[in-house]
Amino acid sequence: DTEVTQTPKHLVMGMTNKKSLKCEQHMGHRAMYWYKQKAKKPPELMFVYSYEKLSINESVPSRFSPECPNSSLLNLHLHALQPEDSALYLCASSQDLELLSGANVLTFGAGSRLTVL
Amino acid sequence: QKEVEQDPGPLSVPEGAIVSLNCTYSNSAFQYFMWYRQYSRKGPELLMYTYSSGNKEDGRFTAQVDKSSKYISLFIRDSQPSDSATYLCAMSARYAGGTSYGKLTFGQGTILTVHP
């Protein structure tokens, strides 16, 4: 299994809702990532988990709350979002944080497209 | 100035053309270079990975790195309509402490359309 699976594919939520995005990989990767991508822009790093511990938080607003329940799963909890948070949210994984060889590269999921009304 | 500059295009070429996609970078710490392809409404997928200056070939794709000029390229030969996508260059570095911290720096992406 060489896939990163994200659910749901599409999500529409109001500004007062609480929802979650889920990500799963079964490649034995120990680093998992959340990226945000706006239209016609490159992915922007939000969070990095290494061995189930939060390694990087790129100054993301607290209305986004990541969680890594185990080495295969990554969640992104959403609460009180703003319309400008509408974007494609990408999960990715890699063997570890050392993205310094062809044997350890980022594998992305298909993304969850979020619309905040 | 952005660390990585990539012409966003859009680039439109006829089927069979040779396509050249380019990125320049300013941070000499970047040592590892990747090209990702992203189809509309999908996640990026890795196309090519290179480390050394020079060329690396994989089928119709050739990745070229010139570290002295801080310039990387992706060439697509005999382009096909199925190559229509956004192409993102990405780079990683070994920072102080000897780790990359899981960080990639992406270019803006070039939108490519290959028309039949």
Going by pLDDT thresholds of 50, 70 and 90, the confidence category of residue A80 is very high
Cβ-defined contact of B103 to A100 (cutoff 8 Å) = no
Dihedral angle of Cα B39, A102, A1, B107, to the nearest 10 degrees? -20
With an 8 Å Cβ cutoff, is B11 touching chain A?
no
pLDDT of residue B86: 97
pLDDT tens profile B74-107:
999 999 999 999 999 999 988 777 777 888 999 9
Going by pLDDT thresholds of 50, 70 and 90, the confidence category of residue B65 is very high
More confident residue, A100 or A17: A17
pLDDT tens profile A60-78:
999 999 999 999 999 999 9
pLDDT tens profile A22-45:
999 999 999 999 999 999 999 999
Chain B residues within an 8 Å CB radius of A4: 43
B57 vs B35: CA distance, rounded Å: 13
Going by pLDDT thresholds of 50, 70 and 90, the confidence category of residue A102 is confident
B14 vs B116: CA distance, rounded Å: 6
Share of chain A above pLDDT 90, in %: 85
A16 vs A21: CA distance, rounded Å: 16
- Whether the predicted pLDDT of A17 surpasses 70: yes
Reduced to 3 states (helix: H, G, I; strand: E, B; else coil), residue A82 is coil
Cβ-defined contact of B101 to A97 (cutoff 8 Å) = yes
